[in-house]
Amino acid sequence: MILIIKGRGISPGKGGGPLLVSPVPISFLSGVDPESGIIVETGHPLRGECMAGKVLVFPYGKGSTVGSYVLYALSRNGHAPAAIINAEAEPIIATGAIIGEIPLIDRIDLPFDRLQNGTWVTVDGSTGEMAYEGTPV
């Protein structure tokens, strides 16, 4: 079963992959290795996970404006997420996604706690839609 979940499109383009869901914000400056796409932030629940090729879900970004450049560097290095879904995209993440050409949506009509790691989704940053393959819990 494929569900179409509506949200708000922020950064255009389409990307798909397995979900990688964080219940807490992510700091891209010093929290993510731009050379590998691995989350390195001490104490983060996704520490050690690689975001490359996955649809990264997190409430919002935190930290310095350099986080935008880290997202761009991830894209340039081939280790960016396939797409990003935020509860509320703020300027640091939106700017990084746009310059890194990473599809980004926010404000989806589904609580994040119903999204399961590994479930395949496709994100369309132009329309703000997410195609969810499966049945959310």
Task: Select which of 30, 36, 64, 126 is catalytic.
Answer: 64
pLDDT tens across 93-122, in order?
999 999 999 999 999 999 999 999 999 999
Distance CA 94, CA 1 (A): 30
Residue 12 burial by CB count (10 A; 0-12/13-18/19+): exposed, middle or buried? middle
- Is residue 64 annotated as a catalytic residue, yes or no? yes
- The whole-model pTM stands at 0.95
Distance CA 39, CA 64 (A): 16
Domains and their CATH numbers in the chain:
2-133 (3.50.30.10)
pLDDT tens across 33-48, in order?
999 999 999 999 999 9
